[in-house]
Amino acid sequence: MADLRPTEILLSDDRIQKRVAELAAQISRDFPDGVHLVAVLKGAFVFLSDLVRHMTGRVTLDFLAASSYAKGTTSSGEVRLLKDLDYSLDGRNVVIVEDIVDTGVTLHYLQDILRARGPKSLRTACLLSKPSRRLVDVEVEYIGFTIEDRFVVGYGLDYAELYRNLPHIAVVGPA
Ligand code: IMP
Ligand code: MG
């Protein structure tokens, strides 16, 4: 896995921008009284920043960071919360903003712990979804793109912490 780098472009900058604008409009329409976005660090930071700039109405933000143990070798749902939220979710319309839903383990865990904090509603927005990889059934109300089982980077997503800065989404492959 050491010599992987971005190869083919899967989703261009342009395509992503158009789709993110559509998602933002849809979320704004669904929450005319305002919405509280909870972004999952670090992967969602680019998606979030484009999303909020296309949203109208009252928008507030918070961040959390999570990491799954021994990714790829366990399906037991062991997720660690590395950074918790600054604000309460009590009575708010909350949308989790995540980069990608892969096995669903991380999102399932986050939805569980956030639901327990008493939001008025809880929905999820993911830029990408890889349904063929799902181990846990999770509900995602807003999905940017459904993709095949390929490892992708760019637009916030990393491989070994690299390539988050790419404006497009690329598949990684041998150099
Ligand atoms: P899950 O718990 O398997 O759904 O994992 C979700 C997390 O794994 C995402 O938030 C990403 O951080 C990471 N991930 C899954 N697939 C990819 C990928 O193709 N590229 C980069 N990160 C990925
Ligand atoms: Mg992530």
Question: Quick one: pLDDT at residue 3?
Answer: 81
The tens digit of pLDDT for each residue in 60-70 reads 999 999 987 65
The tens digit of pLDDT for each residue in 8-59 reads 999 999 999 999 999 999 999 999 999 999 999 999 999 999 999 999 999 9
> What single DSSP character describes residue 165?
T
Token look-up 């009284």 returns 33
Whole-number Å distance, alpha carbon 123 to ligand 1 midpoint, is: 19
CB neighbour list of residue 66: distance below 8 Å, 6 or more residues apart: 40, 79, 80, 81, 82, 106, 109, 110
The tens digit of pLDDT for each residue in 36-50 reads 999 999 999 999 999
Confidence of residue 73 (pLDDT cuts 50, 70, 90): very low
Question: Quick one: pLDDT at residue 76?
Answer: 58
Give, for ligand 1, the residue of 38, 46, 76, 99 to mutate: max count of ligand atoms closer than 8 Å to Cβ: 99
Instruction: List, chain by chain if needed, residues with CB within 6 Å of any ligand 1 atom.
Output: 43, 68, 98-107, 151-153, 157
The tens digit of pLDDT for each residue in 123-171 reads 999 999 999 999 999 999 999 999 999 999 999 999 999 999 999 999 9
Give, for ligand 1, the residue of 102, 137, 143, 145 to mutate: max count of ligand atoms closer than 8 Å to Cβ: 102
Please give the model's pTM, rounded to 2 decimal places. 0.95
Nearest-atom number in ligand 1 for the CA of 136 is: 4
Residue 77 pLDDT greater than 90, yes or no:
no
Annotated catalytic residue 84: no
The tens digit of pLDDT for each residue in 84-95 reads 999 999 999 999
Nearest CA to ligand 1 atom 16: 102
- In DSSP notation, 36-65 reads EEEEEETTTHHHHHHHHHT--S-EEEEEEE
The one catalytic residue among 13, 102, 137, 158: 102
Which pairing describes strands 93-101 and 4-11: parallel, antiparallel, or unpaired? unpaired
Phi and psi angles of residue 18, each rounded to the nearest 5 degrees, phi first: -65, -45
The tens digit of pLDDT for each residue in 96-115 reads 999 999 999 999 999 999 99
Confidence of residue 74 (pLDDT cuts 50, 70, 90): very low
